[in-house]
Structure 1
Amino acid sequence: MNIKQASEQSGVSAPNIRFYEKEGLLTPARRQGNDYRDYTAGNVRTLKLIRMLRMLDVPLPTIKAVLRGEQPLQQALQAQQTVLEQQAAQLAAAMQFCADLARQAPQMDTLDVDACLTRMESPAPQQGFFSGWLQDYCTLTQVQHQKHFFFIPQGSINTPQEFTAALQTYAEEKEIQFTLTKEGMYPEFSLDGIPYKAYRNPGKYRDEICCDAMHPEQLDAGLPPRREKLLRILRIAVPPVCTFAAIMAAGWLVTGGAGWLWLAVLVSAGVLLGRCFEKWL
């Protein structure tokens, strides 16, 4: 078969076939009389093997050694697996760095580039699954707060202007940048570059302002999925566990026994249900 047919059957372009021949990875026979290349089914299979290995990013010298029998295919694949794992670790670190940096809403003119370069050039050693859990827990809690939070203003909210003033006061107290994009009783605004929409939740004595991120899917904790799932469970379970322990400790000190056990269980169950409803709603 000619080079066009070999290209169609192998999925390797004709220029790449010629390049592989030049590099010594493929040596097709020559037809008598016109000296044209004559590719065989074996050549096509070799091209498919080269294509597969190149899709795994195996270097050409390694492929040449495999085709010549100088290196076993299994050994080459194991070596490439190590290389890919190292690259995956580097990409994971880069993804984590991007997520951490994006959460800080950096500005081009105020970003501490030297600190970023220092962290990138001297990354912290890779930690185990259960190491750094407290920092990751705080990170997840911060991201959840960015997605949805509420606060109680100093006075009642009856007009759009009072709503805006309450949001400005909140931003000033938290020392974050506030930008109003739409005034009203359902205002839209941004805090440190994150867009939000808010609504008033009237209470018996004080109003409550609830704020929801307009694009919560863009707020990512940057954690591995398995670790993030575990931390989400801990975030729901920790408050009732702490409540249970606190009530049991207080009851034990006061009564000297376990008479407060059922009260502790009921209160903790109530806290747990509240956190579950908070997550579901």
Structure 2
Amino acid sequence: MNIKQASEQSGVSAPNIRFYEKEGLLTPARRQGNGYRDYTAGDIRTLKLIRMLRMLDVPLPTIEAVLRGEQPLQQALQAQQTVLEQQVAQLAAAMQFCADLARQAPQAETLDVDACLTRMEHPATQQGFFSGWLQDYRTLAQVQHQRHFSFIPEGSINTPQEFTAALRAYAEEKGMLFTLTKEGMYPEFLLDGIAYKAYRNPGKYRDEICCDAVHPEQLDTGLPLRREKLLRFLRLAVPPVCTFAAILAAGWVVTGGAGWLWLEVLASAGVLLERCLERWL
């Protein structure tokens, strides 16, 4: 089909089709004799995919990487979701700023423009240190899980093939894209585009599979250093504190006093020690 028909079927304008061809996103065949473009059903589907991703504001380099198989579609969509969430947050802040300023009935001649620009250019200083800490804690936990995670497979792992099957089953269960790059008892693989090395940790009853990111330094939280340090401390301290409070409440109810204080201190210290060993070993 010609470019006019391709435009009608895909919903992409002819100038945009030519632009995508120029950018290397589409390479239609040429008819023998006249050299005119001859678009196929596969080209129409590609154009529709490009149109869909552009409607989501996905950048052209990302679309090109997806079409070439260099980046999984799921990973590209997740990255774009993060970008859109940031844009939503920025728009929400802008809407709130407009509402706050409008309530003051400002006049163009008397408005303190410098103060407004300072507030708009440095919103973090206005929000306070602890604002959004829950979302940041989730971000930290997600990145730490991406750097290292482990799971218990269904059966024992005795051969490279069983190892590969266990990794593939884990990826399918989590809805993640799995690509094996090196089979063996120390396999290497990609999970949603992140490179990992895995090893087996034999247990008394069941094996455990541990996976470490090949380049953990590239998995950055994007958080300010001070906030990240505080969240790391909270990640270590919150479990023993909660354990202390739970045992204190239970002991107080049972004994009517503080007779269990030594027990809860030991239990909390044990939980804290376990968290430290989990992090450092």
Q: TM-score over 0.5 for the alignment?
A: yes
Q: Is the 8 A contact 2:152 2:209 kept in 1?
A: yes
Structure-2 residue corresponding to 1:210: 210
Tell me how far apart the structure 2 counterparts of residues 153 and 119 of structure 1 sit (CA, whole Å).
Answer: 39
Q: Is the 8 A contact 2:251 2:257 kept in 1?
A: yes
Structure-1 residue corresponding to 2:29: none
Shift of 1:191: 1.0
- The residue identity in structure 1 corresponding to 2:194 is I
Q: Is the 8 A contact 1:105 1:193 kept in 2?
A: no
Tell me how far apart the structure 2 counterparts of residues 143 and 109 of structure 1 sit (CA, whole Å).
Answer: 14
Structure-1 residue corresponding to 2:171: 171
Cα–Cα, structure 1 residues 258 and 141, in superposed 2: closer, same or farther, change >3 Å? same
- The residue identity in structure 1 corresponding to 2:174 is K
Tell me how far apart the structure 2 counterparts of residues 273 and 243 of structure 1 sit (CA, whole Å).
Answer: 13
Q: SS at the partner of 1:171?
A: helix
Shift of 1:123: 5.9
Q: SS at the partner of 2:76?
A: coil
Scaled by the length of structure 2, the TM-score of the pair is 0.58
Shift of 1:121: 6.3
Cα shift readout 1:121-159 (whole Å, capped 9, x = no counterpart)? 626463211111111111101111111111111111001
Tell me how far apart the structure 2 counterparts of residues 175 and 214 of structure 1 sit (CA, whole Å).
Answer: 21
Structure-2 residue corresponding to 1:106: 75
Structure-2 residue corresponding to 1:190: 190
Mapping of 1:1-281 within 5 angstroms?
106-107=75-76, 111=80, 115=84, 118-119=87-88, 122=91, 124=93, 126=123, 127-281=127-281
Scaled by the length of structure 1, the TM-score of the pair is 0.58
When Rg is computed on C-alpha atoms for both structures, the one with the higher figure is: 1
Tell me how far apart the structure 1 counterparts of residues 185 and 205 of structure 2 sit (CA, whole Å).
Answer: 19
Tell me how far apart the structure 2 counterparts of residues 172 and 245 of structure 1 sit (CA, whole Å).
Answer: 39
Cα shift readout 1:194-233 (whole Å, capped 9, x = no counterpart)? 1100000000001000010000000001000111111111
Q: Is the 8 A contact 1:188 1:195 kept in 2?
A: yes
- The residue identity in structure 2 corresponding to 1:250 is A
Identity %: 74
- The residue identity in structure 1 corresponding to 2:182 is K
Structure-2 residue corresponding to 1:49: none
- The residue identity in structure 2 corresponding to 1:213 is A
- The residue identity in structure 1 corresponding to 2:190 is S
- The residue identity in structure 2 corresponding to 1:122 is L
Q: SS at the partner of 2:203?
A: coil
- The residue identity in structure 1 corresponding to 2:88 is R
Tell me how far apart the structure 2 counterparts of residues 120 and 253 of structure 1 sit (CA, whole Å).
Answer: 45
What's the RMSD between the two structures over aligned residues? 2.7
Tell me how far apart the structure 1 counterparts of residues 88 and 137 of structure 2 sit (CA, whole Å).
Answer: 21
Cα shift readout 1:149-174 (whole Å, capped 9, x = no counterpart)? 11111111001111111111111111
- The residue identity in structure 2 corresponding to 1:107 is A
Tell me how far apart the structure 2 counterparts of residues 273 and 179 of structure 1 sit (CA, whole Å).
Answer: 36
Cα shift readout 1:45-64 (whole Å, capped 9, x = no counterpart)? xxxxxxxxxxxxxxxxxxxx
Tell me how far apart the structure 2 counterparts of residues 249 and 224 of structure 1 sit (CA, whole Å).
Answer: 36
Cα–Cα, structure 1 residues 224 and 109, in superposed 2: closer, same or farther, change >3 Å? closer
- The residue identity in structure 1 corresponding to 2:76 is Q
Structure-1 residue corresponding to 2:7: none
Cα shift readout 1:66-121 (whole Å, capped 9, x = no counterpart)? xxxxxxxxxxxxxxxxxxxxxxxxxxxxxxxxxxxxxx973279946994695386
- Aligned residue pairs total 179
Q: SS at the partner of 1:106?
A: helix
Tell me how far apart the structure 2 counterparts of residues 272 and 252 of structure 1 sit (CA, whole Å).
Answer: 22
